């Protein structure tokens, strides 16, 4: 595993897990980083050259004059594929990273071979009760003036470790199944970000960009139907952020996609159930 910074219209941090063959890019979710893939990156390297990316405004990739929207990140992914000397790549995206993967596949189809969407951003399942904690955490930062103040206050009154523990509790069913090395890598990233002046603004701008799809089902539906590549949709049955009902709706919209639901798992199956996640993804990549 090698961590380095590339220049794609500005600095972009990647972690190269090695492997040979087709390029496989791992795209994390909102406020995440390459650390989110640390439990599975090495195992996936059996199926190609696996590289995890810190998306714009996340981890160690500063905005540096660039936008941080999902569209900006899709352009980054497309440019990174070329920078790495590949003609195309398989994209594995979780949450916001899944949305970025779909946009890249739709806007730059020749750059994307296959998609693995892991609990991606999807329209709200109106048949499921809204989780108030999730609603507050994701939508309150978007309130003008008070949202940014609230985010800064939260950062000032919690340690990075407390913030990570709270986020993992909301995202996972059983945080004890997360490998300790992966959890510590996430905490280390959170500690590093506390000193970055751009971190709060980047989070809010990215959150607003994601909400522009999650709250507009017709927009997401149109995007899904523009995806022409073979696609695997993986979803945790107990996901609080994106209800499993939304994933079942997406699978019905695209019956040509392969759909696997992981029982008893939340929003981050690659951290909470890494062995099951690798088995599913490895089997699908081998078949494809």
Across the range 139-154, mean pLDDT stands at 83
Q: Which residue, chain included where needed, has tokens 């696609």?
A: 231
Both tokens assigned to 223: 């995007």
Report pTM.
0.94
| Non-local CB neighbours of 255 within 8 Å, separated by 6+ positions | none
Tokens 């090495």 correspond to 42
Q: What is the pLDDT of residues 20-78, one digit of tens each?
A: 999 999 999 999 999 999 999 999 999 899 999 999 999 999 999 999 999 999 999 99
pLDDT 10s digits, 74-95: 999 999 999 999 999 999 999 9
Is pLDDT larger for residue 251 or for residue 146?
A: 251
Q: Are 213 and 223 in contact (CB under 8 A)?
A: yes
Look up the CATH architecture of domain 2-287: 3-Layer(aba) Sandwich (3.40)
In this structure, the strands spanning 49-53 and 23-27 are parallel
């Amino acid at each position: 595993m090698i961590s380095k910074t590339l220049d794609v219209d500005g600095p972009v941090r990647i972690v190269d897990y090695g492997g040979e063959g087709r390029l496989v890019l791992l795209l994390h979710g909102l406020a995440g980083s390459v650390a989110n893939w640390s439990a599975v990156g090495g195992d996936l390297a059996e199926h190609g050259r696996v590289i995890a990316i810190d998306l714009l405004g996340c981890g160690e990739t500063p905005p540096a004059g660039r936008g941080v929207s999902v569209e900006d990140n899709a352009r980054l992914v497309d440019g990174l594929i070329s920078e790495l000397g590949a003609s195309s790549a398989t994209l594995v995206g979780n949450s916001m990273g899944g949305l970025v993967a779909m946009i890249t596949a739709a806007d730059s189809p020749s750059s994307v071979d296959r998609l693995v969407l892991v609990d991606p951003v999807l329209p709200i399942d109106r048949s499921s009760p809204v989780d108030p904690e999730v609603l507050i955490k994701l939508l309150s930062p978007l309130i003008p003036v008070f949202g940014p103040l609230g985010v800064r206050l939260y950062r000032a009154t919690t340690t990075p470790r407390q913030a990570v523990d709270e986020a993992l509790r909301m995202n996972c069913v059983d945080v004890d199944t997360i490998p300790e090395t992966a959890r510590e890598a996430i905490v280390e990233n959170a500690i590093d970000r506390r000193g970055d002046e751009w971190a709060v603004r980047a989070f809010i701008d990215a959150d607003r960009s994601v909400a522009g799809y999650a709250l507009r089902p017709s927009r997401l539906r149109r995007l899904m139907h523009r995806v022409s590549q073979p696609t695997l949709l993986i979803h945790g049955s107990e996901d609080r952020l994106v209800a499993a009902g939304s994933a079942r709706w997406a699978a019905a919209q695209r019956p040509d996609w392969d759909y696997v639901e992981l029982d008893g798992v939340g929003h981050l199956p690659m951290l909470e159930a890494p062995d099951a996640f690798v088995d599913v993804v490895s089997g699908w990549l081998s078949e494809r």
